[in-house]
Amino acid sequence: MTPETLKALTEARAAKRPIVVATKLPSGEQLLLPDASAPAELAAAATRALDRDESGTQVIGNETWFLHAYNPPLRLIIVGAVHIAQALVPMAAHLGLAVVVVDPRRSFATEERFPNVTVSSEWPDDAMDELKPDVRTAIVTLTHDPKLDDPALDRALKSPAFYIGALGSRRTHARRVARLKELGHTDEAIARIKGPVGLDLGAITAPEIAVSILAEFVAARRNGALAPKPAEKQAA
Amino acid sequence: MTATPDSDDILSTAAAWVAQGEQVAIATVTETWGSSPRPAGSQLAVTKSGRMAGSVSGGCIEGAVAEIAMKTIETGTPQLMDFGITDERAWEVGLACGGKLKVFVEKLS
């Protein structure tokens, strides 16, 4: 890899721009995509690699190319700068997630409790409007307070976020579902919310609950056997 | 908490090594068959001085790949290597999982 390619790649990733390194095999000739001057078939293959978030080798024409897809990190928006969030943030960072903590209560969202984390003190719906959750965003509400959780979940359901979880017991969640229905959300839409959040590990402590949440997140992301299916959730 | 944008970010580590004046090669899994432990795109960075970061197989062939990387650092010529149980070299280095994979090794100049 030439210094120019490495520099351009590093810059794109720092700017959180999706980018593909295309390497011709076995010669090692490289180009970065998207690039307007790239052959159409190669450009289309690069777009697919980013969409699927999957790197791989492809034969294009009579050439073999390895397409290495670099998407920006997945985002995790945590609503509630609570004790569980303090355990969840460092674990999520280890998974490579870009974490944002949202909590308008300044006594919770302090630098001391959340060093070096992006913290938004906006009201959750305003914060969501600013953060614009996309298909590579996960949202977890942890406050237990409908005043804070509900506006966040309302915005989450209006977004294409791939994982939405809400802390709270089954009873709490049933009441939450009723409130979200009053806001005009359908059962089908509300079934996107994993509630109670996390795989049922019998977790008790904050770090254990963080593990159960991230385990469910990974299952959802990788479509693993333990990924909750919306239909099952509705029946439950 | 120090921000780790991507815990699998071998390329950034490699780039930092280059900036420190190290000579670095990067090995990337380009294709897998069967039960290979690491998917295409997994990387191992190796310096001439012997530093290593990342993995291409979860341990089975890292030693062999590091040797190839040393050669690539010297010659500057990229290499596309096959590893698998049908390959005698791979048998020697023991890809016990029974998978097959291709690894591309290039110098980071």
Mark which of A70, A101, A129 sits at the end of a domain: A70
A79 and A52 within one domain: no
| pLDDT (tens digit per residue) in A63-115 | 999 999 999 999 999 999 999 999 999 999 999 999 999 999 999 999 899 99
pLDDT value of position B37: 76
- Compare CB distances from A25 to B12, B80, B107 and report the shortest one's residue: B80
Residues in CB range of A190: below 8 A, 6 or more apart: A157, A177, A180, A181
A81 and A63 within one domain: no
| pLDDT (tens digit per residue) in A173-223 | 999 999 999 999 999 999 999 999 999 999 999 999 999 999 999 999 988
A53 and A128 within one domain: no
**What's the CATH number where A115 sits?**
3.40.50.720
pLDDT value of position A213: 97
Mark which of A28, A50, A70 sits at the end of a domain: A70
Mark which of A40, A70, A100 sits at the end of a domain: A70
Check residue B54 and give left, alpha or beta (phi > 0: left; psi -120 to 50: alpha).
left
pLDDT value of position B3: 36
With CA atoms as reference, the chain A residue closest to B39 would be A55
Instruction: Decide if the complex's ipTM is over 0.95.
Output: no
CA-based nearest distance A67→chain B, Å: 8
Residues in CB range of A168: below 8 A, 6 or more apart: A144, A149, A176, A195, A196, A197
pTM above 0.80, yes or no: yes
CB–CB contacts below 8 A, A to B: 79
The count of other CB atoms within 10 Å of the CB of residue B77 is 13
pLDDT value of position B6: 46
Spatial contact of B103 and A24, defined as CB atoms under 8 Å apart: no
A19 and A89 within one domain: no
3-state secondary structure of A91: helix
Share of chain A above pLDDT 90, in %: 88
* pLDDT < 50 regions, chain B: 1-7, 87, 90
Cα–Cα distance between B52 and B64 in angstroms, integer? Answer: 13
Spatial contact of B40 and B31, defined as CB atoms under 8 Å apart: yes
| pLDDT (tens digit per residue) in A130-164 | 999 999 999 999 999 999 999 999 999 999 999 99
* Tally of domains in chain A: 2
Give yes or no for residue A29 having a pLDDT over 50.
Answer: yes
Residue span of the structural domain in which A51 resides:
3-70
Q: Domain residues of chain B, as ranges?
A: 10-108
Spatial contact of B76 and B107, defined as CB atoms under 8 Å apart: yes
Kindly list the residues from chain A whose CB atom is less than 8 angstroms away from the CB atom of residue B15: 6, 10
CA-based nearest distance B93→chain A, Å: 23
CA-based nearest distance A94→chain B, Å: 6
A231 and A177 within one domain: yes
A42 and A88 within one domain: no
A182 and A213 within one domain: yes
B13 touches chain A (CB under 8 A): no
